[in-house]
Chains A and B, each alone.
Chain A
């Protein structure tokens, strides 16, 4: 063996040793990579959305003439939608559970209560003779509520829906049951006196609602901030994410009950007539509901329901019921 082959053999032996050492107890990052990759899963969250296109012109409060008088309870006309509801045994109503004073879930009684709920009770009573256990409440969100009516998932929606001409294209509305106004809520410390003082700031409203569209269209360059439920606006306001909330006064009154350090600016940005949304397939039901509403207006039921829920929070005496318009 020459010196060179010996040296080569030595180097080879060292290399083999290193390879053997490297091979045993080899480390792989596979589990680490798999686990970190799995943890990186992310889903994009929802953000503010607005709609576009000019709304058609019409009288949004004009509903169908009432059937007068409504059929006797428990004896709905054959073939009518009311008869189908009577046969089913209960009315399916889409409502919101967190709309203080109008429709909200009271954890102490375990029931949904409020101004709108009492009006729905009147409709159920007109169909069945009693409203006890005759309504199945479906919680709906603002983006869901009109599609649910169109798809027949609910018979009627009473959820502070402002009647607009754009919405009339998709659903029918009852006559006005509440004359609301769109108003602005800001922190008590805010210097804002009018909507233009909020220029270039984020202003919150419910996604898919009229106020959000107003924010987006306003000439004051407000930045729309959409949330899935109106009540989230309050949290956003308190977190300082938005400078103000534009919403119906009915919702703002309920909101002001729950938080301090806020104020409602003393003017309406727009009218907000509320109607109950009903499918375009059931004009007979619209007329029936209008007849029931007409009765509540005339016999003082509307006033007592208003007094029960909104009386303590409205300034001045109970207003007269909203005047119905029929086309």
Chain B
């Protein structure tokens, strides 16, 4: 095959082939760049962001079940018993949702199955402990501390926390691919190159044919320019929305979720120290370590971080209420600790156990406030994430169609000229 490029019709046909090939290559690259952004934004909005919160809620309901089991043993309360049963039911439902949402082969799936496998074991220990305790056997408490609580703290909570960490990291990964510079640069470079090819074709046409404009080619070039501009605007909108979703939403969700997990752990430590009456020094040590990690509003730690974030997004009132609740809780904890060290277990029990005990009331306030703030941050996150995922909606179809239309217009312009040689 030999091309006689001195012949104008051959040159025109060759130009058409170049144009079509450039359009196909550019369309493929641009669509895949847009698609990777779009699917990452969608994953943030509908998958990783939600699963992270689901994992945190699973952790919370497991802790709640444990707190209720503990209260049932220490007060023989029917209300606590009902709360325990309800929490176990909710936990099972959440495990069901998470099992369907995660693949069994993934790390997240493995964490969910670990929780699913250990929950009946835990429940068995609690039932044995409860029946022993109701017969007046001190062994009931030991069953709870060593059996049930061993499973809760040794298997259930670590697996739920692992799930939370995996989903939080997945979210970070989705953020990264949703804002990756590679995709946007590829889109811009190939878009601009396609535009340059079209513009060059126009210039060559003008030179060869001695006419300034070829109307279909000009329109085709304009369409390509429009596609590039539209795509970039879409990508910038998506990226901006994802950034807001993180800064105004999920960052706070993460810090507050971690704070809630640690607050629940503190409350568990407190109960175990009480029920172990003096042989629970490791729980008190854990309480102290957890408390350090929580930090304070004007210092470091989770609360410090959450306060800085809240200040950036406007109101710090919620975080300050949480911090107040924490310090009130800590004050009661200090009294309790003094009672425990003096061997005044019954005084300590009065402070901590039962629906109206001061420490239980504080813990409830704290948990409610944390949940409210997490939900508020989560709804900010959802709003931004939704606009990020809708920013590129339909682009996967519109971009190839528009490029095809522009290319067809360009080819039509060339065809007009080729016809003139027949």
Contacts and interface: CB of A to CB of B under 8 A. Distances in A.
A41 interface: yes
A232 B145 contact: yes
Interface string B145-173: 11100100000000001001100110110
A46 B282 contact: yes
Interface string A89-121: 000001001111000111110000000000000
B398 interface: no
A232 B142 contact: yes
A24 B282 contact: no
Given A35-B168, A140-B343, A234-B142, A14 B179 contact: no
B239 A39 contact: no
B343 A153 contact: yes
A39 B181 contact: no
Nearest to B304: A34
Contact of A35 (B181, B243, B302): B302
Interface stretch (B61-69, B131-139, B202-210, B324-332): B131-139
Interface stretch (B8-16, B185-193, B413-421): B185-193
B293 interface: yes
Interface string B235-263: 11001111110100011101101110110
Nearest to B151: A239
Q: Describe B's contact surface by its main secondary structure.
A: helix
B277 A14 contact: no
Interface in A241-259: 255, 257-259
Interface residues of B, number: 70
B142 A235 contact: yes
B146 A24 contact: no
A231 B133 contact: no
A10 B192 CA distance: 10
Given A21-B184, A32-B169, A108-B136, A236 B146 contact: yes
A228 interface: yes
Interface residues of A, number: 58
B176 interface: yes
Interface string A146-170: 0010000110000000000000000
A42 B282 CA distance: 11
Contacts of B395: none
Interface string A210-244: 00000000000000000111011011101100000
B301 interface: yes
A170 to B, nearest CB: 19
B138 A38 contact: no
Interface stretch (B96-104, B112-120, B284-292, B361-369): B284-292
A252 B348 CA distance: 30
A81 B162 CA distance: 58
Contacts of A235: 139, 142-143, 146-147
A143 B281 CA distance: 12
Contacts of A68: none
A98 B142 contact: yes
A281 B197 CA distance: 102
Contacts of B290: 41
A156 to B, nearest CB: 14
A43 B283 CA distance: 9
B262 A21 contact: no
Nearest to B169: A32
B258 A234 contact: no
Nearest to A17: B188
A100 B132 CA distance: 13
B76 interface: yes
A38 B189 contact: no
Contacts of B277: 97, 139, 141
Contacts of A36: 165, 168-169, 258
A147 to B, nearest CB: 12
A17 B281 CA distance: 59
Contacts of A144: 278
A199 B172 CA distance: 53
Interface of A: 10, 14, 17-18, 21-22, 24-32, 34-36, 38-39, 41-43, 45-46, 94, 97-100, 104-108, 138-141, 143-144, 148, 153-154, 227-229, 231-232, 234-236, 238-239, 255, 257-259
Interface of B: 76, 132-133, 136-139, 141-143, 145-147, 150, 161, 164-165, 168-169, 171-172, 175-176, 179, 181, 184-185, 188-189, 192, 232, 235-236, 239-244, 246, 250-252, 254-255, 257-259, 261-262, 276-282, 285-286, 289-290, 292-294, 301-302, 305, 309, 343, 345
Given A38-B258, A107-B136, 10 more contacts: A31-B246, A31-B309, A34-B258, A39-B165, A98-B142, A105-B138, A140-B278, A148-B343, A255-B139, A258-B137
17 contacts: A21-B185, A21-B236, A22-B181, A22-B184, A24-B236, A24-B240, A25-B179, A27-B175, A34-B302, A39-B262, A100-B138, A104-B138, A141-B277, A144-B278, A231-B142, A239-B147, A259-B139
